[in-house]
Structure 1
Amino acid sequence: MNTPISITAIASISALGNSPKHIWEGYLNNKHHFTTKTVSKQPVVVAQIPPDVLKDIEILKQSDPKYKSLDHSVLYAIYTSRKAVKQAGWQSTDHFGVNIGSSRGATTLFEKYYDAFLENNKAETLSSPTTTLGNIASWVAHDLQTNGPEISHSITCSTALHAMLNGIAWINAGMCSKFLVGGSEAPLTPFTIAQMQALKIYTKQNTNFPCRALDFNKTKNTMVLGEGAAMVCLEAGRPTNALATISGYGYATEVLKHNISISSDAKCFQKSMKMALGNINPDEVDAIVMHAPGTIKGDLSEFKAVEKIFCNKRPFLTTNKWKIGHTFGASGTLNIELAVFMLQYQKCIGVPYIDNPKPPKKLNHILVNAVGFGGNAVSILLSK
């Protein structure tokens, strides 16, 4: 790290809710936050935004005539960005940067517009501008009235942590002192769910734990889709309101052997975790918030990578996907949020159906992982 970089605010919405108090309370219990949604006349397990939070999103949507035509992925981003910036005490005159990504983007609108095109053989007027990938960050920058740099991208499920890498790079380069980074996803649509089912990775069970992320003995894939967004405020230095410090970062990409391939021991994660550790002894890492999507190969390969890097002392392992599902491009910063909570409250949040080493008495360093299709891995080391 060239310049100390701190996290000064985090705001999110997910199946856990939208307030830090409710989110942390949700993490403290051993219950998942899944519901059942009828998709193509079949019940599907999903992780939805709670109804009371959706009321806030509807109020936001009706607050500006221009917002009425926006997809939920954009509205979730605007909503959480407002909360994060307010929490950090930023002003538009600070000219902070914005980098927000999404794996799927405006899924609901895209499917709606495409259905209308098939029916009428004519595209609707706003079908292009409201579904482009740059839609999310540009609308957030417009809403917050910042004149800083504004970036959108999709690097599948590691998108949010790649946004964090960009923010770190801009700050280290001295081109910006503050950056808003994160991801937003609203993927609970018929075609998106059908795509995951076609890959044979979606859960077919509706038990006590429909998603069994980090269960290395499972014999079936158990991924569950969730919707949500999480935004993080990054600042140069160590201000008094810092929630955590970014003490390392790493990234790597594997050579593709298949469209969704990852090596059996996740070489991409081995490289990204090793890079993130830098000169820190692996034994000093107290916990890892795993990517762990709930698939057999995905979970096990990441675990094998952890074994390779942390051969002397395995850190405490956890994930939030058994509770809030896989939120694709937003999952990385939702993982960051969990890590920051654990550092703040000095409490490990475990996974109820797996065995773990005894939680450490003190949490000083937590590693956060994310990876997307094709082995686009990112690891971020957070310190108290």
Structure 2
Amino acid sequence: MPNPTDSIIIRGRGRVSALGTSSTSYAAPATIPFQTRSVGSYSLPVAALAATTEYSIAELRRSHPAYRQLDRTVLLALLAARQATAEAGWLASGGLSTPIGRGQLESVTRQQPTNHNQQASISVSVGSSRGATERLEQFHREFLAEGSVSVAASPLTTLGNVASWVAFDAGSTGGAALSHSSTCSSAFQALGNAVAWLRAGMATHFLAGGTEAPLTDFTLAQLHALGIYSTFPAIDWPCRPGAGRPSTFVLGEGAAVFALEQVSADTLATLQQSAQPVFVLEAVGFGFEAIASKTGLSPDGQHFQQAMRQALHQANCTVAEVDAVVLHSPGTPAGDASERAALRTIFGEALPPLLSNKWLVGHTLGASGALSLDFALHVLETQRWPAAPFSTDLATDAARPIRRILINAAGFGGNAASVVVSRL
């Protein structure tokens, strides 16, 4: 029977974004992590992977014959999940092994799938707004040109394809493999499901997070058609959350995955004596609003309010105990204003420091919440974050040590999610 005093800890984590794959990349980006893509008659800034990360993706694709046909969204998830399992020490099937140090990406990329003849209990929960975007568009182009499609079209583009390949690569033979799609809160929906399974005693080890590779011509054209895309060039920090008008939405690609375990109070006390920081996933709250809007966004952010209240209640903490907020803040005037209105309703006018990583990695849709959580863990670990080089309401420092952070995510359809994470 699950013990209500047990805690969910983040044993390991991995990430892939325009900043690279290292957790230290948030400290001080060496160059502006945006590129320019031509789509039809116009050019758009995007937060695409750098050449060094592209090499890692190519190595991963070559590491197993079946991986050569996988969508880029799946490959990003595999790479992030391998980092998380390595850091957690889950490389040995069915149990814990000696953790691989952070930053040793090359060996992790070349890692072969765990022996599938051994019983493994790792469960997987991965969110993605669009899923296999690149392969779906490719198969559709082939259909329009030839009138037929490949036999592999359906299995390679179904959303369940994302989590199942992560589970395969992790060596899971008996754990759950769950895929989620709720637009830009997909990663937190996946995280919440993982927490529920762990607390119910239905799983012992969970890989949970989000992944998205949406930088295709059709997807970029869709976002441009909404009239929210940034007009700033790639060399001038085009994504500017909290800067007001004009809209500065910029699409990015990436993934972040977390290795989750539920531990007893005694185990938690033992972990606190180690040199490594201990991160506790205290809550995952959800909010929904059904309104007559194509985005499902109300001016006062009702879904944000509901999600934050639920998360704070689960974490059994007051607003005064939240030291910072990592915003969803997509850089659109309406979206940014709605979230801040919801924050003022919950926290009052004296808001905690507001943080964001979207000006560094763009908006990665279904992966955005996961990358925001990874950014929050970086802040908890280092007590530092880079200052945005444009006028904004994002904080440059904090008046007190940051020990607990609330992270928001929201998406089209009126759904929002909030996570509370702390460092012991």
Q: Pick the TM interval, shorter chain.
A: over 0.9
The alpha-carbon distance between structure 1 residues 190 and 312, as it changes in their structure 2 partners (threshold 3 A), is closer
Q: CA deviation at 1:3?
A: 3.2
Quick one: percent identity of the two aligned structures? 40
Identify the residue that residue 302 of structure 2 maps to in structure 1: 267
Q: Is the contact made by 1:342 and 1:349 (CA closer than 8 Å) also made in structure 2? A: no
Provide the secondary structure at the position in 1 that maps to 2:406. strand
Q: 2:213 & 2:376 partners in 1: Cα distance? A: 23
In the alignment, residue 65 of structure 1 is paired with which amino acid? P
| Aligned counterparts of 1:243 and 1:46: Cα–Cα separation in 2 | 34
1:292 correspondence with 2:363 = no
2:13–2:84 contact (8 Å) kept in structure 1: yes
Q: Cα RMSD (Å) of the superposition?
A: 1.7
| Cα gap change, 1:283 to 1:291, in 2 (>3 Å) | same
1:191-217 CA-partner distances (Å, limit 9, x unpaired):
1011111111111221623112112x3
Which segments of 5 or more consecutive residues in structure 1 lack a partner in the other structure? none
Structure 2: distance between partners of 1:253 and 1:359: 31
- 1:131 match: 157
CA distance in 1, matches of 2:422, 2:392: 26
CA positional deviation for 1:265: 0.9
Amino acid at match of 2:65: P
Matched, 1:168 2:206: no
Q: 1-side partners of 2:386 and 2:323: how far apart?
A: 12
Q: Give the Cα separation in 1 of the matches to 2:182 and 2:261.
A: 23
Output one character per residue of 1:146-194: Cα deviation in whole Å (capped at 9) or x when no partner.
1211101211100011111011101110111221101111100011011
Contact 1:100 1:160 in 2 (8 A): yes
Q: CA deviation at 1:312?
A: 5.5
* CA deviations over 1:291-333 (Å, ceiling 9, x no partner): 0011111010000100111116310001111111000111111
> Given the superposition, is the C-alpha separation of residues 245 and 136 from structure 1 closer, same or farther in structure 2, using an over 3 Å criterion?
same
Deviation at 1:360, TM superposition (A): 2.5
The aligned length equals: 379
- Find the counterpart in structure 2 of residue 149 from structure 1: 176
Q: Is the 8 A contact 1:214 1:319 kept in 2?
A: no
Q: Amino acid of the residue matched to residue 221 of structure 2?
A: A
The reply on whether 1:10 has 2:13 as its aligned counterpart is yes
AA partner of residue 87 (structure 1): E
The Cα of 1:355 is off from its aligned counterpart by: 4.0
**Larger displacement relative to structure 2 (222-231 or 352-361):** 352-361
1:368 is the counterpart of 2:407: yes
Q: What residue number does 1:330 align with? A: 367
Question: Which residue of 1 is the match for residue 99 of structure 2?
Answer: none
Q: 1:254: which partner in 2?
A: 289
Asked if 1:74 corresponds to 2:112, the answer is no
Alignment match, 1:306 = 343
Question: 8 Å contact 2:329–2:339 — kept in the other structure?
Answer: yes
Contact 1:317 1:356 in 2 (8 A): yes
| Aligned residues of 2:127 and 2:211 also touching (Cα < 8 A) | yes
Instruction: Judge conservation of contact 2:128–2:211 (CA < 8 Å) in 1.
Output: yes
- DSSP-derived class of the 1:166 partner: helix
Structure 2 residues not aligned, in runs of 5+: 96-120
Aligned partner of residue 92 in structure 1, secondary structure:
coil
User: What residue in structure 2 maps to residue 276 of structure 1?
Assistant: 311
Deviation digits for residues 253-287 of structure 1 (CA, Å, limit 9, x no counterpart): 11131221211010111111111112312112111
**More deviation in 33-42 or 75-84?**
33-42
Q: Hey, what does 2:98 align to over in structure 1?
A: none
Which residue does the alignment assign to 1:211? Answer: 239
Between stretches 234-243 and 98-107, larger displacement belongs to 234-243
Residue in 2 that maps onto 1:93:
94
- Contact 1:318–1:349 (Cα < 8 Å) also in 2: no
Instruction: Compute the TM-score of the two structures, normalised by the length of structure 2.
Output: 0.86
- Checking the alignment, whether the CA contact within 8 Å between 1:243 and 1:344 is kept in structure 2 is no
Is the contact made by 1:247 and 1:383 (CA closer than 8 Å) also made in structure 2? yes
Q: Which residue of 2 aligns with 1:19?
A: 22
Cross-structure match for 1:318: 355
**Cα offset, 1:354, TM superposition:** 1.8
Following superposition, the deviation at residue 2 of structure 1 comes to 5.8
Query: What is the SS of the residue equivalent to 1:128?
Result: helix
8 Å CA contact retained: 1:225, 1:326: yes
The SS at the match of 1:12 is: strand
* Compared CA separation, residues 381 and 204, structure 1 to 2 (3 A): same
